[in-house]
């Protein structure tokens, strides 16, 4: 609905008459040395890869999807995730077939924003159907507060014990990678990895669209 009433503009830079301009597409292109390993404050136990800084067109597109319902930007963001997954396969960090697990979102937040954007991006990233499938294996309990404005330690306390496995662990076959839109302190990713590993899943990496 929102798309119909908003004037047509690039979700990255606001340029008129296009939904996603070439300049912004270039900002999201995955280069040969990307994604980069980043070191969030909360220790992860597996390497964390980010496709870029949470800035510019990347930031604008993520915000547009999450806060303004710009579903048309799921595809370009999903394509960036796909590029990142390909690199991790090429480098041997992960081996096929992959199970891609979206980081959990608080349910009411996802509802308010028109569906869980990370899952939709993951589905777009794996839509070619080869080597990877998406399993929504994690959920967050309803007690979790919005993490905006919380420090790293407070975020870690906020999510501790709040990430739960959803569905049978048998679905988590092969190499598992956790994907998220933004990694900040890494608290949610770390708790997600811990829950997956405790359940016996072979999770080897975290891949984020952006690091802040
Ligand atoms: Zn643009």
pLDDT-based confidence at residue 146 (cuts at 50, 70, 90): low
DSSP β-bridge partners for residue 177: 100, 205
CA-only gyration radius of the chain, Å: 16
Contact between 86 and 132 (Cβ < 8 Å):
no
Contact between 142 and 107 (Cβ < 8 Å):
yes
pLDDT-based confidence at residue 128 (cuts at 50, 70, 90): confident
Contact between 172 and 99 (Cβ < 8 Å):
yes
Closest to 101 in 3D by CA, of 125, 77, 70? 125
Contact between 176 and 101 (Cβ < 8 Å):
yes
Backbone angles phi, psi at 159, to 5 degrees: -100, -10
Quote the ligand 1 centre to 37 CA distance (angstroms). 26
Quote the ligand 1 centre to 205 CA distance (angstroms). 30
CA distance 190 to 139: 14
- Residue 19 vs residues 2, 24, 76, 84, 137: alpha-carbon distances, Å: 13, 10, 10, 23, 32
Considering only residues 190 and 161, tell me which one the structure prediction assigns the higher pLDDT: 190
For the record, the structure tokens of 146 come out as 């919005």
Average the pLDDT over each of 134-138, 164-168, 175-179 and give the range with the smallest value: 164-168
Quote the ligand 1 centre to 61 CA distance (angstroms). 9
| pLDDT tens for each residue of 46-95 | 999 999 999 999 999 999 998 888 999 999 999 999 999 999 999 999 99
Quote the ligand 1 centre to 11 CA distance (angstroms). 6
Contact between 99 and 133 (Cβ < 8 Å):
yes
Quote the ligand 1 centre to 72 CA distance (angstroms). 13
Give the pLDDT of residue 8: 86
Quote the ligand 1 centre to 125 CA distance (angstroms). 21
Quote the ligand 1 centre to 58 CA distance (angstroms). 10
């Amino acid at each position: 609905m929102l798309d119909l009433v908003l004037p047509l503009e690039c979700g990255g830079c606001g340029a008129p008459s296009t939904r996603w301009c070439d300049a912004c597409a270039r900002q999201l292109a995955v280069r040969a040395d990307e994604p980069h390993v980043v070191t969030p404050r909360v220790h992860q136990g597996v390497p964390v890869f980010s496709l870029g800084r949470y800035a510019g067109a990347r930031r604008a597109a993520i915000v547009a999807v999450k806060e303004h319902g710009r579903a048309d930007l799921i595809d370009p963001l999903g394509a960036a995730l796909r590029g990142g997954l390909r690199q991790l396969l090429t480098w041997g960090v992960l081996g096929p077939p992959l199970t891609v697990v979206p980081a959990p979102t608080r349910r009411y937040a996802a509802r308010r924003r028109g569906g869980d954007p990370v899952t939709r991006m993951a589905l777009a990233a794996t839509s070619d159907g080869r080597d990877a499938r998406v399993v929504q294996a994690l959920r967050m309990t309803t007690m979790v507060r919005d993490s905006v404005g919380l420090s790293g330690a407070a975020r870690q306390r906020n999510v501790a014990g709040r990430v739960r496995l959803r569905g049978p662990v048998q679905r988590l076959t092969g190499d598992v990678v956790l994907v998220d839109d933004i990694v900040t302190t890494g608290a949610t990713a770390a708790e997600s990895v811990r829950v997956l590993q405790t359940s016996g899943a072979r999770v080897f990496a975290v891949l984020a669209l952006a690091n802040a």
